[in-house]
A and B are shown apart, each in its own frame.
Chain A
Amino acid sequence: MEAIFRRGRPVSAPLLEASGLAREYSLPRDALFRRRDVTRALAPTDLIVRDGEALGIVGESGSGKSTLVRLLLGLDTPSAGRVLFRGHEVTGVRGRRLNWLRRETGVVFQDPYASLDPRMTVGRIVAEPLVGLRIGGDHAGLVADVLVKVGLDPDMTTRYPHEFSGGQRQRIALARAIVHGPRLLVGDEPLSALDVTVRAQILELLRGLRDTLGLTLVIVSHDIGVVHDLCTSIAVMKDGEIVERGATTEVLSHPAHDYTRRLLAAVPSLD
């Protein structure tokens, strides 16, 4: 993090920078005149993601992984702190005024059975970011190109999601996430709902896309194998805090935090 600042101004801003980012939720009242209790989903957190980095966010359920990712993408409003994307403010900007960020980012979710509209054809699903973000050009051509990139037949645009297997659906979801040429691809447990054999194929695909398109990745996963394979760096979360952050090989071979050690020790092994 040295040599980035010159006369107090960033020379080249990191792709993503969060400072003091926090999120609290107030719980329902126990009684009418009692103050609401507050639960802390994310403690004040600083995080920098650089161009070309592949960051894996690991931790147990409820540790704040998804909260962090939603805040980074401007999908939720923090209780405190701010997010900058290439030096531009994300926090506090809403709706269409955040379209510039949407163009730079793509998201894949866990369950390809829930994330695709069953009433839309594959062609419409994949073209949706182009339409929603008012991106011009030859939509049909862009959709056909991206389908090839994710290993699907470009002629399947008139078919519906139910005609596809889980793995193919996740490929469709990936096509939708990258059709508009984002710099950053975010995956929230993108492999967890998939069958073992399919998981290996989609992992391979993600790795290929990362390399050929030069995507920066932020991958939320509880699967250490996936993070080990795909990510250059790791953030380990526990109870709403990042307890350890570092290069993947370093963290996995020399875990410093006690929780990281317990997490890694719990991974069942084939040998």
Chain B
Amino acid sequence: MSLDVDGLTVVIGGRTVVDGVSFSVGDGDRFGIVGSSGSGKSVTALAIMGLLPDGAVVSGSIRYDGRELTRLGERERAGTRGRSIGMVFQEPRTALNPIRTVGRQIAEPLRIHEGLTRADAWSRARELAARVALPEPDLLLRRYPHQLSGGQRQRVCIAMALAARPRILIADEPTTALDVTVQAEILSLFQRLTRESGTSLVFITHDLAVLRTVAEHAMVLDDGRMVEEATVERLLTEPAAPASVALLAAARATAWKRSFDGGAR
């Protein structure tokens, strides 16, 4: 499996939002996309998913396992979504349908993509809930999104994204809306899931400290352009592009360095 993006350019309403971005993600890679807001991170992800708004003009190439995704029709594209590439969004509250139980929302893509029966889909939903460490799955799967906490909702979204066994998981700021203790749990969940199943991860964030915990390699976007690609270690120690330097300086300005051993954990 590989995802190869080459010269990706996205124009929305006459404005070039992503400008000639190229990168590759191979089997089991954990790749980060970093940048400040408006740098084109999310649009890059949506372009890969084929979820851009109407009127967005995409050029360049997005190949998944050698297959050109940009030339697929919407029907075929929908077939790759979820099955080849799954996605987790920032705000788990708006990513879920408020009037359906979360169990149904996890089971639904299984019935569509894999033609499972209702009962089989439900038991797979239970397995997935266990994999993402959703507590008391029998109880929580029958609940509606508003009855869950933010962290539980994000676990449900991750279970949904994993339901059709995608080879690549794209996560767009998946912990930004969460409390710091919950964030730590979700980040370690991402680490565990990618290690266990060999799923590749594309992780979008503006937070270099978060990036460090989940990705090995990353690119920095600035105003739609890729300005640097390097190992995360290098971005944190010797950033080269001005935008990377500015990101690190801003992160350092508001960072707090733990000076005790961290206690019970």
Contacts and interface: CB of A to CB of B under 8 A. Distances in A.
Interface stretch (A3-11, A156-164, A260-268): A260-268
Contacts of B254: 191, 196, 199-200, 203, 223, 225-226, 229
A200 B210 contact: no
Contacts of B210: 268
A228 B258 CA distance: 11
Interface residues of B, number: 37
Contacts of B246: 197
A262 B263 contact: yes
A60 interface: yes
Interface in B2-21: none
A203 B36 CA distance: 17
Interface in B135-187: 150, 179-184, 187
Interface in B192-210: 206-210
Interface in B206-230: 206-210, 212-213
Given A195-B206, A222-B180, A224-B256, A270 B263 contact: no
Interface residues of A, number: 36
Given A196-B250, A197-B36, A267 B150 contact: no
Q: From DSSP, what is the main secondary structure of chain A's interface residues?
A: helix
B247 interface: yes
A253 interface: yes
A154 interface: no
B257 A200 contact: no
Interface in A197-255: 197-200, 203-204, 222-229, 252-255
Interface in A35-66: 60-61
A259 B247 CA distance: 31
B206 to A, nearest CB: 5
B99 interface: no
B179 A61 contact: yes
B36 A271 contact: no
The 3 closest A-B pairs by CB, nearest first: A261-B263, A266-B184, A200-B253
Interface of B: 36-37, 150, 179-184, 187, 206-210, 212-213, 236, 246-260, 262-265
Interface of A: 60-61, 166, 191, 195-200, 203-204, 222-229, 252-255, 258, 261-271
